[in-house]
Amino acid sequence: MAAKIIDGKKISAAVREEIKARAAALTERTGIVPGLAVIIVGENPASQVYVRNKKKACEDAGFYSVVIELPGDTEQKTLLAKIAELKEDPRIHGILVQLPLPEQIDEQAVIAAIPPEKDVDAFHPENVGHILIGDHRFLPCTPAGVMKMLEIEGIPVAGRECVVIGRSNIVGKPMAVLLLQANGTVTVCHSRTKNLPEVTRRADILVSAVGKAGFVTADMVKEGAVVIDVGMNRNAEGKLCGDVDFAAVSEVASAITPVPGGVGVMTITMLLENTLRAAEAKAL
Ligand code: NAP
């Protein structure tokens, strides 16, 4: 039987309506308009698309937003100075530096320079620590988007086998933490994992965050599993696709997220949520 397609666009639209209403109420009550600054360094075409989408999402939600475009040869100290300026700007509640950064810039130094209360990506070590403890201020956008989809689709996590493929700081690791906090039994796989298909076939919920088109094949998926595809790749024809062999896996899974129209759109929605939370915290 073909899997149910988890429609990220539809779920996102509903969540964004709620965010928009909360933002309007905040502005009416306090005069505060949630504000997001996105800094992009260089001309990576994929990053430019993401940044445009973020700006549009902000505008649609009634937020204030600025995009700061810096040339690819920008020095680290110039970027840090820009962040310091935004730190003091009362119109800005969230600061996001689009990754990846050019090689002359130390990514960790930049992340550490973002004030934790404006770190709407939730990458700052202080926020990462809070996420691990479970008393978070912000949740990282992509894993939070996945959790929101599971919640809205009524897919239970507690007590179920959850397998995450990928252990990056921005997706795999925090994804595993959030599933664990939702009482899943979590296994994290990576490039050194042995017998990967054997491990992934245990999953009731399988999350792939690898970055390789066609990586998850039908034989890696248990009958009836929920498959969440975080991957954003280009196939041989240059078309956007995930990690999962969608057509074949759909025949085995009970539910699956498409790419595009799945996790990606939820990531931006959770960025709006974090920016709104940062603005709401100012009103307390
Ligand atoms: P990353 O930093 O490159 O991490 C990839 C992970 O995959 C690593 O942990 C790596 O293992 C693992 N891996 C690679 N080859 C493997 C193999 N043969 N078997 C098992 N594991 C393997 O990538 P990322 O930043 O986490 O992103 C992953 C994907 O998600 C990309 O396609 C990215 O574009 C996408 N993404 C999407 C969104 C969204 O909003 N939908 C947001 C962020 C990222 P090792 O650690 O051992 O190297």
Q: Does the CB atom of residue 168 touch ligand 1 within 6 A?
A: yes
Using CA atoms, how far residue 264 sits from 7, 127, 137, 235, 281, in Å, is 11, 22, 22, 17, 26
pLDDT of residue 83: 98
pTM exceeds 0.85: yes
Question: From ligand 1's centre to the CA of 209, what distance in Å?
Answer: 4
- Is the CB of residue 142 below 6 angstroms from any atom belonging to ligand 1? yes
Whose Cα sits closest to atom 4 in ligand 1?
168
Tell me the best of 6, 187, 230 to mutate to test the pocket of ligand 1, counting ligand atoms within 8 Å of each CB and taking the most.
230
**3-57 residue pLDDT tens:** 999 999 999 999 999 999 999 999 999 999 999 999 999 999 889 999 999 999 9
Q: Up-side HSE of residue 259: CA atoms within 13 Å toward CB?
A: 26
Which of 54, 118, 148, 222 is catalytic? The answer is: 54
Q: Domains (ranges, CATH) in the chain? A: 31-115 (3.40.50.10860), 141-264 (3.40.50.720)
Nearest CA owner, ligand 1 atom 32: 211
Asked if residue 193 has its Cβ within 6 Å of ligand 1, the reply is yes
Q: What's the pLDDT tens digit per position in 229-248?
A: 999 999 888 899 999 999 99
The answer to whether the beta carbons of residues 191 and 175 sit under 8 Å apart is no
Which ligand 1 atom is nearest residue 230's CA?
Answer: 41
229 is annotated as an active-site residue: no
Q: Ligand 1: does its nearest atom lie under 6 Å from the Cβ of 194?
A: no
Contacts (Cβ under 8 Å, ≥6 apart) of 244: 208, 214, 215, 216, 227, 229, 231, 256, 259
Residue 1's pLDDT is: 66
Q: How far is CA 18 from CA 22, 56, 63, 176, 272, in A?
A: 6, 17, 13, 27, 11
Measure 49 CA to ligand 1 centroid, in angstroms: 19
pLDDT in tens, 170-204: 999 999 999 999 999 999 999 999 999 999 999 99
- Catalytic one of 121, 229, 243, 245: 121
Annotated catalytic residue 98: yes
Q: What is the pLDDT of residue 236?
A: 87
8 Å CB contact between 181 and 203: no
- Span 76-105, pLDDT tens digits: 999 999 999 999 999 999 999 999 999 999
| 47 CB near ligand 1 (under 6 Å) | no
212 assigned to active site: no
Distance separating alpha carbons of residues 228 and 200, to the nearest angstrom: 12
Q: Are strands 233-234 and 240-241 parallel, antiparallel or unpaired?
A: antiparallel
Instruction: Look at residue 7 in the predicted model and tell me its pLDDT.
Output: 98
Q: What is the mean pLDDT of the chain?
A: 97
Catalytic residue selected from 82, 98, 222, 243: 98
C-beta of residue 140 within 8 angstroms of C-beta of residue 123 = yes
